Structure 1
Amino acid sequence: MHKTQKDKPFYFLVTATFFLSLIVVGVGAYTRLTDAGLGCPDWPGCYGFMSVPQTESQLQTAQAIYPDSPIEPVKAWNEMVHRYIAGSLGLLVLMIAVMAWARSGRPKLLSSLLLGMVFFQALLGMWTVTMQLMPIVVMAHLLGGFTIVSLLWLLRLWIQPKPLFYQDGFKTHLSLSSRYLTVLKSVAIAALIVVISQIALGGWTAANYASVVCTQLPICEGDWQGMFDPRAFGLIQPQHSSYEYGVLDYAQRVSIHVTHRIGAIITTVFILVLAGLLWLKPPLRRYSIAMIGVLSVQIILGITNVLASLPLLIAVAHNVVGLILLLTVVTTCYRLICDCRSPLEVKYFASESATHG
């Protein structure tokens, strides 16, 4: 029996932490989309308290400390709930790192990288507030959250029980031609880069409040080509007292929105090409089906966001499904590069190798 099968506590901890990280991303998207990113003007507390001020004396104290930030309880609670859940995630990641270093055979480097990423994400969370929703920080915070989820997923893939064939160094890729395997890996990596770039574009669109500037399909109404302004993508923007609700002009927001839509088309092409290549090998078709299924849902959500002017729950789902699409590509890259296959795949490729001997 493989050693990871005997390490169930660590595996269950990583799995639970992964699912909590998905919740954190969803709640984070909800917080951003309800304009609650500055629901509390300080960090990590709220108006000088560790919870949202509620009593009359607390409200008076909070207003005295932050006279320019009137208290909005709903937004403040949205922000604090997100912080509480994110804090719980941080504690679980710390437990993962401690357990990884406490026993041999556990992935110490990946666990340590994950812990470091959580600390950096906490800094980004603080800067998001203290820098008044500066777009580059908001986008980095989104990417940081997606990175943490992806690292947790990779850690779970790494420690999950593996087939006996793999323990003996059995190379399932022997049934694939070297050229085909190289093409498959290259396309998978390219698709991963494209998906990450599209997620970054989505984060930049949201951070600059450009999500609803175009209301027509497939691209945008008006002379969007004539309005296109490359300055919209300058990561360092002029200093403002607050970036809430955006500081770019209409043409710049249209430029961002249109680029995100074009990016969606490019992403779709890459995912479909990768899915087509995976479909050619029956055991890999489940990855192909998963990609196409998630991509289809994401396209529907994106179209709905445009036609219905960014409904809150649809917009949150668009964030989460985008993350799930990333995870499907991450999983495919991991399987192809690390050659860590399921028993079904091992059996299939073994028979193919014997047949073509």
Structure 2
Amino acid sequence: MKTQQWLATIAIFLTMGVILLGAYTRLTDAGLGCPDWPGCYGFLKVPQQEHHVAAALEAFPERPLEPHKAWNEMVHRYFAGSLGLLIAAIFFIAVFTRHSGKVVPAVLLALVVFQAALGMWTVTLNLLPLVVMGHLLGGFTLLSLLALHWLRLHPQYYAQEPQLVSLKPFAALAIAVLIGQIALGGWTAANYAALACIDLPVCEAGWQQRLNVSEAFDLHLGHDDYEYGVMSAEARQTVHVFHRFGAAITLVLLASFLLQLWRRAGSKILKRLTLGAAALLLLQFSLGVLNVVLHLPLANAVAHNFVAANLLMLLVVIYLQLRHSGKTTSKESL
């Protein structure tokens, strides 16, 4: 059991690292730093020797080698590959261990394989926004599932709060809204719309007349290359505006849920989880505002991505606590 606990803990932190590296790779426009997969210009690492660089330029004349971007991409792949091997180890240990849950490890393994496929398609389909957004959501889902796995391996951290069972639907709604907002954020980033509006609180004057919803949420399939986006300026503004309205809705809804939880929770575990989620929610909203005011500074934008992943993970853990309390109540009633 201790081995599984340690592996789950390491996997959570490694996933956080992969999420950070993925955001950094995307925000430094290094998603196509290596135009092939899983190697880089036909090599297992970034070409450095002169004859290797010459071979890379000959093989991919349309995309000259930019070493800093290529290294960003390859370091992300190395970490993601290590995470895949670690999750495979988690799965096989669970399979051959008695009295150990096997469903979640199996789902984790399937998801990390699918994530690898999405990583490949991100390159082979030249940053197709649907794939880029899916890759982001997959990484966040992986982190949340690992938190679920970790909690099941540490049952001593479950709170017994039967009075909170009625908040379970509210928690599920909060998670659903947050996932929708994260998807909007991923769509905004994948379509290079993060700076489509640089005024507060909504956008530049006359934004209502420039809305183009049909183009903003069209999949735009069939283009040869999606680097730097294929949408019109109006469509990008529309995506950005939707993301801003989504942020306001998410802030209000999640704050309401966390306030209700804080008032009714009695255990230290849930009190701390609630405080942590509230702090991340306020930080996330502040980082979003700073992205606009400071015109998307790299460190701030990476943090915005990372905090969203951790906020989702905490809300999932809170939901699991409420669900466990419900099961405890049902057993007691029997």
Q: Assess same fold via TM > 0.5.
A: yes
2:245 to 253, 262, 265: 262
Residue 36 of structure 1 is matched in structure 2 by 30
SS at match of 2:156: coil
5 Å-filtered alignment, 1:76-91, equals 76-91=70-85
Question: What is the letter of the counterpart of residue 101 of structure 1?
Answer: V
**Seq. identity, %:** 47
Residue 278 of structure 1 is matched in structure 2 by 261
Question: What is the letter of the counterpart of residue 232 of structure 2?
Answer: D
Cα distance in 1 between the residues matched to 2:9 and 2:142: 13
Cα distance in 1 between the residues matched to 2:2 and 2:46: 39
Cα distance in 1 between the residues matched to 2:213 and 2:148: 36
Residue 113 of structure 2 is matched in structure 1 by 119
Structure 1 alignment gaps of length 5 or more: 1-6
Q: Is 2:181 the partner of 1:195?
A: no
Structure 2 alignment gaps of length 5 or more: none
SS at match of 1:220: coil
SS at match of 2:99: coil
- The alpha carbon displacement at 1:320 in A equals 0.3
Conserved? CA contact 1:275–1:287, under 8 Å: no
5 Å-filtered alignment, 1:276-355, equals 276-281=259-264, 282-283=266-267, 284-339=270-325
- The alpha carbon displacement at 1:276 in A equals 1.4
Residue 4 of structure 1 is matched in structure 2 by none
Cα distance in 1 between the residues matched to 2:307 and 2:24: 14
- The alpha carbon displacement at 1:338 in A equals 2.0
Q: What are the Cα deviations for residues 208-241 of structure 1, in whole angstroms up to 9, with x where unaligned?
A: 0000111111111121111111123435214222
Q: Is 2:175 the partner of 1:181?
A: no
Cα distance in 1 between the residues matched to 2:215 and 2:108: 32
Residue 11 of structure 2 is matched in structure 1 by 17
5 Å-filtered alignment, 1:111-190, equals 111-162=105-156, 172-174=160-162, 176=163, 181-182=165-166, 184-190=167-173
Cα distance in 2 between the residues matched to 1:158 and 1:226: 51
- The alpha carbon displacement at 1:280 in A equals 1.7
SS at match of 1:339: helix
TM-score (norm 1): 0.88
Residue 62 of structure 1 is matched in structure 2 by 56
SS at match of 2:310: helix
Conserved? CA contact 2:174–2:253, under 8 Å: yes
Question: What is the letter of the counterpart of residue 276 of structure 2?
Answer: A
Instruction: Tell me the matched-pair count.
Output: 327
- The alpha carbon displacement at 1:329 in A equals 0.8
1:108 to 73, 85, 102: 102
Q: What are the Cα deviations for residues 20-79 of structure 1, in whole angstroms up to 9, with x where unaligned?
A: 000000000000000000000100000011111111110111111111110000000000
Question: What is the letter of the counterpart of residue 311 of structure 1?
Answer: P
Question: What is the letter of the counterpart of residue 282 of structure 2?
Answer: S
Q: Which moved more, 1:151-160 or 1:236-245?
A: 236-245
- The alpha carbon displacement at 1:271 in A equals 0.8
Conserved? CA contact 2:91–2:106, under 8 Å: yes
Residue 241 of structure 1 is matched in structure 2 by 224
Residue 88 of structure 2 is matched in structure 1 by 94
Cα distance in 2 between the residues matched to 1:88 and 1:233: 36
Residue 3 of structure 1 is matched in structure 2 by none
Larger Rg: 1
> What do you get for the CA RMSD once the two structures are aligned?
1.9
1:222 to 182, 205, 218: 205
Question: What is the letter of the counterpart of residue 283 of structure 2?
Answer: V
